[in-house]
Amino acid sequence: MAADRRPSARDSAAALGGAGRVGVVITDYLAHLKVERGLSVNTLAAYERDLADYAEHLGEHGVTDLAAVVGETLVTWLQTLPERGLSARSQARKLVAVRGLHKHLRREGLAPIDPTRGLRLPKFVPRLPELLSFEEVGALLRAPGLDTTAGLRDTALLELMYATGCRVSEAVGLDRAQLHLDRGLVLLSGKGDKERFVPLGEPAVAALSNWLSAGRVQMLARLRKQKGAHVSAVFINQRGGRLTRQGWFSRLRAHAKAAGIARPVSPHKLRHSFATHLLEGGADLRSVQALLGHADIATTQIYTHVSDRHLRETYRRHHPRA
């Protein structure tokens, strides 16, 4: 499987379908992850790609039974990853997927040993997240305007994402019942369907209220076929369906360009900016962890490096003997 081409879900499914008994066991494991652990569609797709890659390697080396895999087989596979140009981060992600598979087989009594025991993840230096400045966020929030229904919707969505640091899937999947604007709260459903209440600031409440009471009503009224409209969805498209991740990516890029932001802007960059701006404003790490919906505080700690950088710059600018 070539390193410079990311296989699609269809490619991965086809690879597993042609991998015989190994493919069947992996498919069962993916079903277990979906049902028992409630992983998101995107996370499951990533697991499927990585395990299909592993199954392909096993097939090339004549391994037809996962219970027969030994440490030497895994080491051989791991050695191929840097040779294919995969970064340490990508190597680590693949090993996590394979380690989970073998642990599951051992736990279920389907394999005598777990051959991944003792294997260490490749070391990598975490990339610091790219951020938007306060000024860039302000320009981006103003970019959609309020003179069209699409502008009202996009302003509300931008305000929501910057106010809560939510993931794009959480934002476009939001239903009206999850909004509690009278209390200034939104109920977000994160990875593994874990729910958390996150407060909304006044600008976000106002933007969402405007969209729901004016823009969304007008957009639905213009639709010829109301029957197909997602009446529960907060953010709908011009056809009445739920706004998609891809549709929002496209809209966000256009708004960033209109705001004069030359760098690439993504929904995740808004999430990074939310977290960092909170820490720079004095928020504690545990609170930011809860707001972001991180299960492990280690995931949140990357933002302390960004915040430290801000503190160093502030020190250099203002301390008389810096």
Q: Given the residues 49, 255, 271, 272, select the one marked as catalytic.
A: 271
Q: Rounded distance, CA 267 to CA 248, Å?
A: 9
DSSP string across 164-212? H---HHHHHT-BGGGEETTTTEEEEE-GGG-EEEEE--HHHHHHHHHII
- Name 243's Cβ contacts closer than 8 Å, sequence gap at least 6: 153, 157, 172, 233, 235, 236, 237
Helix or strand (DSSP H, E) at 249 = helix 245-258
Q: Rounded distance, CA 81 to CA 89, Å?
A: 11
Q: Given the residues 230, 294, 309, 310, select the one marked as catalytic.
A: 294
Q: Given the residues 268, 286, 305, 312, select the one marked as catalytic.
A: 268
**CB-based burial label for 302 (10 Å; 0-12, 13-18, 19+):** middle
Both structure tokens of 208: 């969402």
Is 294 considered catalytic here? yes
Is 103 considered catalytic here? no
Is 191 considered catalytic here? yes
Is 54 considered catalytic here? no
Is 268 considered catalytic here? yes
The strands making up 179-180's β-sheet, listed across from edge to edge, are 179-180, 185-189, 195-199
Q: Given the residues 89, 191, 245, 309, select the one marked as catalytic.
A: 191
8-state DSSP, 8? P
Tell me if 129 sits within 8 A of 309, measured CB to CB.
no
Q: Which residue has the tokens 């997602």?
A: 230
Q: Rounded distance, CA 241 to CA 229, Å?
A: 5
Q: Given the residues 102, 104, 167, 255, select the one marked as catalytic.
A: 167
CA angle 140–263–136, rounded 5-degree value: 30
8-state DSSP, 215? I
Is 303 considered catalytic here? yes
- Name 168's Cβ contacts closer than 8 Å, sequence gap at least 6: 161, 245, 248, 249, 267, 268
Catalytic residues: 167, 191, 268, 271, 294, 303
